[in-house]
Amino acid sequence: MLRIIEWKRTTTQYVAILQVADRFEAGSIKELKRQGPETILGGILKGTTREDWYALAYDRRELEFDEAREMAKEALERYRVQEQRI
Q: In the prediction, which pLDDT does 8 show?
A: 98
Q: Report DSSP letters for 11-55, one per residue.
A: SSEEEEE-S-GGGB-TT--EEEEEETTEEEEEEEBTTSS-EEEEE
Residue 58, strand partner residues: 14, 38
Q: In the prediction, which pLDDT does 53 show?
A: 97
CB 65 within 8 A of CB 83: no
Residue-number span of the structural domain to which 20 is assigned: 6-85
Question: What pTM was estimated for this model as a whole?
Answer: 0.93
1: in domain: no
80: in domain: yes
65: in domain: yes
Each residue of 68-78: pLDDT tens digit? Answer: 999 999 999 99
Q: In the prediction, which pLDDT does 80 show?
A: 94
CB 51 within 8 A of CB 13: no
Each residue of 14-65: pLDDT tens digit? Answer: 999 999 999 999 999 999 999 999 999 999 999 999 999 999 999 999 999 9
Other C-beta atoms closer than 10 Å to the C-beta of 56 total: 25
When pLDDT is cut at 50, 70 and 90, the band that residue 86 belongs to is: low
H/E segment holding residue 7: strand 6-9
Number of domains observed in the structure of the chain: 1
